[in-house]
Amino acid sequence: MQTDIGKKAAGEKAAEYIKPGMTVGLGTGSTAYYAILRIGELVRAGMEIKAVATSEQSEQLAREQQIPIIPFDKVEKIDIDIDGADEADAQLQLIKGGGGALLREKIIAVAAKEMLVVMDESKLVKQLGKFPLPVEIATFAWELTFKQLAASGANPVLRLKDNNRFVTDNGNYILDCRYQKIHNAAALEAQLNSVPGVVENGLFLHYASKLIIGYQDGTVREITRPYQGKKSF
Ligand SMILES: O=C(CO)[C@H](O)[C@H](O)COP(=O)(O)O
């Protein structure tokens, strides 16, 4: 597929930032996939790293690639998190969760010193919101949470998979909220987080330190936020 050239270029470029001894967060999706494959090659060539995964799917892929996955009680720091995005703007604000892994992805992104976002050129937008914003919700009385979000103008749609309700790795549902344009992402994030039943939302506003954008000709462009000296904990 043509677009995979950009995804592959971005994923492989991100792996260049990994150094021996690092603990790496492994993202989820078809672009993070290419980073995980490349990291697997590095590991099999002898590079010693540790990793944590943002989904069961990525953990399984990592294990197939012989990447050592460590339990969370052994994590002292996460040096780099490499993950995809559904949309990103030039301020490095993201919408994530198209693959349904947003909660685990956000937990890892917050803990990582650096978050590298791998994406093809189609994901870079002037304004967030065209991609429906995934909101993970508790299954208990989900219909009421749905109504609360609908009343706030979110235009939610319950995510389905094979005609059944999509269930996240955490046992929750996802509402895809169709805003079309998000004018004040920080205010929207605060409003969503104030609704009981909302577990997490797909706005990642402050976490990305670098966008690695892959193009169909195989080149990459990077947009970097000045390093803030962020610690894991
Ligand atoms: O947030 C995600 C999963 O929850 C993915 O990172 C996002 O959906 C991008 O995926 P892809 O690289 O396949 O386009």
Q: How many CB atoms lie within 10 A of CB 219?
A: 13
Residue ranges of the chain with per-residue pLDDT less than 70: 1-3
pLDDT of residue 3: 54
Both tokens assigned to 97:
């969760």
What are 107-116's pLDDT values in tens digits? 999 999 999 9
Q: Is the CB of 85 under 6 A from ligand 1?
A: yes
Both tokens assigned to 220:
């990459």
Q: Quote the ligand 1 centre to 118 CA distance (angstroms).
A: 9
Examine the residue annotation and report whether 105 is marked as an active-site residue of this protein.
yes
Q: Quote the ligand 1 centre to 107 CA distance (angstroms).
A: 15
CATH topology of domain 133-202: Alpha-Beta Plaits (3.30.70)
pLDDT of residue 228: 81
Instruction: Find out whether 3 is annotated in a ligand binding site.
Output: no
Q: Is the CB of 28 under 6 A from ligand 1?
A: yes
pLDDT of residue 62: 98
Q: Where in the chain is the domain with CATH 3.30.70.260?
A: 133-202
Closest atom of ligand 1 relative to the 32 alpha carbon? 12
CATH code of the region 3-124+205-224:
3.40.50.1360
Q: Where in the chain is the domain with CATH 3.40.50.1360?
A: 3-124+205-224
Both tokens assigned to 135:
């909101």
pLDDT of residue 2: 55
